[in-house]
Amino acid sequence: MLEKYKLISNSLSMIVNRLAQSITAFVLTAAIARTLGAEALGQYLLAYSYYFIFVGIASQGLKILFTRELAREPEKTSVYLMSGTWLQLIFSFFSYGALVVVVFLLPYSSKTSTVCYVMGLTIIPFALSNITEAIFQAIEKMHLIAIATVPVYVLRLLIMIWAIQLKYGIEYLGAILFFSETLILVIEWIIITRFVRIQWQIDGDFVWNTIKTARTFFAIEAIAVISSRIQILILSLLGNEFLVGLFGGIAQLLQPFLIIANSIIVAMFPRLSQVVDKGWKKQQQIAESFIEVLLAMGLPLFLGLLFFGKDLLVFVYDSSFAQGSLALSITAISLLLLPFIRTLCYLLVANHFEIINLREVVITTILGSLAGIALVSQYQLLGAAIMSLLMTILGFSQYFYFTYTLLFPLNLWIIIRRPLMISSLMIVVFLILKRLNLEFLSTLIIATCSYILFIISISFHAVGGINIIKEKLLRKG
């Protein structure tokens, strides 16, 4: 019972944290597009993409490695905190230097380059906070991450919107991002010093062994973050900042799902790592249940975007974004495969098959980038959307194959039956709403309430109905 409570608590904490991050990013994107225009949004998203790539290269490999190892050896937390932070600081400086060189060599305008340089500074505080967050995740105290981050996200959004209304440039938004992540780092260190004994010394052997162990993780994350932003980079080089703004606005509409999915999987990862030695049955049960939950969100969202994607783009941004409706529909197909990709990726890492993840991101990025150059140069925005979908299909195919051959097969019918039931009911709702032709806000509210009602009803049915629940409550009482 305690384990279930911890899993639910950690999942909710990560979801709250990621949702706050997603909602604030979503509101900020809409504010930039409405006030400063699609081109300014393109500059912001391009600078954020370079920051995201280089901070991922500098930090994500250590974060995943530390989470896995500390989940098994929590007594080494002090060593991981101090020595890991020092190692992360060195990587951060190298990563920021690499960002400056890359941006300087590419043919961007001086204003766009300046925005990239300013926002890139955020690499340092964000990467350092990843060490503390890895510790919080490993010891399953993920609510502390939400405590440190959510208030800062809200405050940051308010300050950024104020700056946008005053017509400050995008570079000022980059500076606000840097100072806010520095504040998060300070708060997390204040929290962590209350239950972790600080050892003010660097363990040279630990640092060297970590570098050797983390090589695969660094390679995976380096290619993975490039892969996740390669469409924007190609669009910026073969198109312009306006197209980057359109594509970024489309991608932002999928972020709520991605944030929730990543939060659930991150919360699952320590538990998955702990049950590896207990046999594949337990792992299969955990993996299938999480894929089912994510698919129950992804499939109805995909159908909703098919019916009302154009209306959503106009509602969130402005009428100039309506031209991206077809690209949104194509990109949204990935929602059917991402639940498998996210879950199976961490499943393989928990079983020490991270080399498979490295192989996947290398193949997907190389093939996807080569196809993307041809697609974007020919079809511009639609080419970027097709490229994104192609890379998702490549990733899904590899993860599914290696899970089947190295670990266990998935019971697909068990995974998809309830998501299909929910989606079938939602299609009826969408058809009725399309026929009624209401204002979009009313349509969105009705569709969301219907989805929540269907989820609750099917969940009650899954556990045996209301009478079974009453009996269980009476027994506990």
Q: pLDDT digit string (tens) for 226-261? A: 777 888 888 888 888 888 888 888 888 887 788 778
Mean pLDDT (the chain) is 83
Show me where the domains of the chain are located. 1-239
**SS3 (DSSP) at 37:** coil
Q: Supply 1's token pair.
A: 């019972």
Lowest-pLDDT choice from 139-153, 329-343, 415-429: 139-153
**Would you say 410 and 371 are in contact if contact means Cβ atoms under 8 Å apart?**
no
Cα 148 from Cα 143, distance rounded (Å): 9
Lowest-pLDDT choice from 126-130, 143-147, 194-198, 446-450: 194-198
**Residue 421: Cβ within 10 Å count:** 15
Which pLDDT value is given to residue 22?
A: 76
Which pLDDT value is given to residue 469?
A: 44
Q: How confident is the model at residue 465 (pLDDT cuts 50, 70, 90)?
A: very low
Residue 164 pLDDT greater than 60, yes or no: yes
Q: pLDDT digit string (tens) for 10-40? A: 667 766 777 787 788 888 988 888 888 888 8
Q: Supply 310's token pair.
A: 């154009």
Which pLDDT value is given to residue 466?
A: 47
**Would you say 70 and 82 are in contact if contact means Cβ atoms under 8 Å apart?**
no
Checking 227-230 for CB contacts under 8 A at 24+ apart, the result is 227/361, 227/364, 227/365, 227/368, 227/391, 228/52, 229/49, 229/52, 229/53, 230/365, 230/368, 230/369, 230/372, 230/387, 230/391
% pLDDT > 90, the chain: 32
Q: Average pLDDT in the 298-307 region?
A: 94
Phi, psi of 107 (to 5 degrees): -85, 60
Which pLDDT value is given to residue 4?
A: 53
Residue 334 pLDDT greater than 90, yes or no: yes
Residue 3 pLDDT greater than 60, yes or no: no
**Would you say 268 and 140 are in contact if contact means Cβ atoms under 8 Å apart?**
no
**Would you say 206 and 73 are in contact if contact means Cβ atoms under 8 Å apart?**
no
Q: pLDDT digit string (tens) for 371-417? A: 989 999 899 899 999 999 999 999 999 999 999 998 888 888 989 99
Question: Where are the alpha helices (H) located in 334-411, listed in sequence order?
Answer: 338-350, 354-379, 381-406
Q: How confident is the model at residue 302 (pLDDT cuts 50, 70, 90)?
A: very high
